[in-house]
Amino acid sequence: DQQVKQNSPSLSVQEGRISILNCDYTNSMFDYFLWYKKYPAEGPTFLISISSIKDKNEDGRFTVFLNKSAKHLSLHIVPSQPGDSAVYFCAATGSGTSYGKLTFGQGTILTVHP
């Protein structure tokens, strides 16, 4: 049972435009969400997170939006840069998870063209 889903395997955008990566979840116990960026042959790098008490969190070019009623979150990258090309994973966890377990989506490959 896939509790965190990233339904778009890939996304291609032009440099300078907005990239929007989407993520859906099914477990209503999740209340903390994270986005990671991963280059091939490297470990994931933490980008940004959001708690369920918020609907938006911003950090530089990265903004994460959370729609709890729809169980949906999205990562916006503005403006997109070629160096942003990577695999993006969303992950979720809940306060009821005693060991901080993260459940990951399958990832979305973002390609930013110069």
Partner 1 sequence: EADIYQTPRYLVIGTGKKITLECSQTMGHDKMYWYQQDPGMELHLIHYSYGVNSTEKGDLSSESTVSRIRTEHFPLTLESARPSHTSQYLCASSEYGGGGTDTQYFGPGTRLTVL
Binding site for partner 1 (CB under 8 A): 4, 9, 31-32, 34, 36, 41-46, 49, 51, 89, 93-97, 99-102, 104-107
Q: Tokens representing 50?
A: 């959001």
The Cβ-side half-sphere exposure at 19, using a 13 Å CA radius, reads: 29
Distance of CA 12 to the CA centre of its chain: 16
The residues facing 38 across adjacent strands are 87
Q: Residue 17 or 56: which CB sits closer to partner 1? A: 56
Residue 2: CB minimum distance to partner 1, A: 8
Q: Residue 101 or 113: which CB sits closer to partner 1? A: 101
Residue 35: CB minimum distance to partner 1, A: 11
Residue 97: CB minimum distance to partner 1, A: 6
Look at the alpha carbons of 29, 32, 38, 43 in this order and tell me if their dihedral is positive or negative: negative
Q: Residue 90 or 112: which CB sits closer to partner 1? A: 90
CA–CA distances in Å: residue 35 to residues 31, 94, 114? 14, 15, 24
